[in-house]
Amino acid sequence: MNKILDGLRVIEGAAFVAAPLCGMTLGQMGADVIRFDPIEGGLDARRWPVTRDGKSLYWAGLNKGKRSIAVNTRSPEGQELITALITAPGEGSGIFLTNFPTSGWLGYETLRQRRADLIMMNVTGNPDGSTAVDYTLNCAVGFPFITGPGHGSQPVNPVNHVLPAWDAITGVSAAMGIVAAERHRRITGQGQYIRLPLADIAFAMVGHLGYIAEVQVNGEDRQSTGNYLYGAYGRDFETRDGRIVYTVAITQRQWRALGEAMGLVDKLAMIEALLDVDLSREGDRFKAREAISAVLAPWFRERTLEEIQKTFEGTAVCWGPYQTFRQMVEEDPRCSAHNPMFSTLEQPGIGSYLVPGSPFQFSGEERLSPRRAPALGEHTDEVLSEILHLSDGQIGKLRDKQVIAGPIELSEGGRR
């Protein structure tokens, strides 16, 4: 299962998060993902975060396990090379992943003239084809107005979250779309053009979570409640040693375990009579959130993080500490070599650090170790020889004409 996509070849021309994440996800399950970029480097080649020497950690993170070719895509010869790779014969080939504009030589109708059963995944911004990115979409779907301090019904400045959630969901959805299209092709022999707008993913998820229905059925617009968990109980608390933890009680089991572990069952029960609520119901716990927090807060303030961890260990209490990225890396065993998803890899030009592989755990199989990201154009000669059967002489001529290049070491300041 870990290499179930072995034999699948995906040609990727992409930037930003969603499409490269799609390619990496397929590659982590065995697909041969070949990414093409301009010789000078594409949009992601120098994207932050970068090392002190200007090497892009972003590039290294989203291109793990892929092969890389560097091609002058402005030249007719370079365009022909990419076209030939996309439409190369073979049962598992003929798959193109992109979020570039699909017109002219990269248009679906143009490419399928060379291979009728072509599968093409086109990640776009808006359904009408106009540009959108995660951050312009997130501001459109309401979440910034319910993020940040609680404000009741008063106007509030929106607070953006920094996780590109729609990119992440779109990337994994795009991988699912390619797998589905490839299965369809095996059954019917037919290719497929798949258009996946980032905006459709965002608005669909808002609908899945009930936010659209809340407006149309209840006539209500969700308000920010700060760090409280909407519809159940969850809140942040400060500890005696200055750390912050979050505790959640969604299920009845979690609620009961929280009161028992903290020794506050009787005090919490008094809230029911005072406020006429039933705290076995998650909705009532949300209604009584301020009173519950008033009972819980002193308990947390009197204890250190270590003492809280020992108290909750082995119970059904659902909780966790707030962590900076540094604290996560240095303190959390889930983000360490103790987690078999991670391996310590040497990334040329960058150094040695923890790298995640696939999060899937298939029964009876060990996880596949992650593979490092390529240098720009590292596999140019290899790919052209292996797939297009070009000779050394032909490849040499293309290099001399600066149609192809690689490997290329890039930094924030330019090419070196």
Calculate the alpha carbon distances from 90 to 114, 222, 374, 401 in Å. Answer: 13, 52, 24, 29
CA distance linking residue 365 with residue 148, whole number of Å: 43
CA distance linking residue 234 with residue 136, whole number of Å: 29
* Structural contact between residues 350 and 336, judged by C-beta atoms closer than 8 angstroms: no
Both structure tokens of 62: 């989203």
Kindly report the backbone phi and psi dihedral angles of residue 249, in degrees, each rounded to the nearest multiple of 5, phi listed first: -135, 90
Calculate the alpha carbon distances from 374 to 291, 380, 405, 411 in Å. Answer: 55, 11, 14, 14
Q: Could you confirm whether 284 is annotated as catalytic?
A: no
Query: In terms of Cα–Cα distance, which of 298, 278, 299 is closest to 288?
Result: 278
CA dihedral 105, 106, 107, 110 (to 10 degrees): 50
Query: In terms of Cα–Cα distance, which of 14, 154, 141 is closest to 86?
Result: 14
* Structural contact between residues 100 and 131, judged by C-beta atoms closer than 8 angstroms: no
Query: In terms of Cα–Cα distance, which of 66, 46, 67, 86 is closest to 193?
Result: 86
* Structural contact between residues 79 and 105, judged by C-beta atoms closer than 8 angstroms: yes
From 32, 44, 134, 167, active-site residue: 167
Among all residues, which ones are annotated catalytic?
167
